[in-house]
Amino acid sequence: MTTCDFCGRQESDGAATLSWTTAVENGRKRVFCDACSRENLRAMEGKLDSEFW
């Protein structure tokens, strides 16, 4: 079971999570669903931590 660290969406199918993104923030791996990734793309590319989105 994979859970989005931003919105809490859960997905059990590994193929469905292929479009999800991962990041390392303060040494911790974070996973974000495709919807959250699209909504916050500029902040991700700017390397802002998710707490600033």
Q: pTM for this structure?
A: 0.77
Token pair, residue 21, equals 């993104």
The pLDDT tens digits of the residues spanning 12-46 come to 988 889 999 998 888 999 999 999 999 888 887 88
- Quick one: tokens of 38? 């699209």
Instruction: Measure the CA–CA gap between 41 and 38, rounded to whole angstroms.
Output: 5
Instruction: Look up the domain containing 20 and give its range.
Output: 2-52
Number of domains the chain contains: 1
Task: Mark 26-42 as b/e (b = at least 16 C-beta within 10 Å).
Answer: eeeeebbbbebbeebee
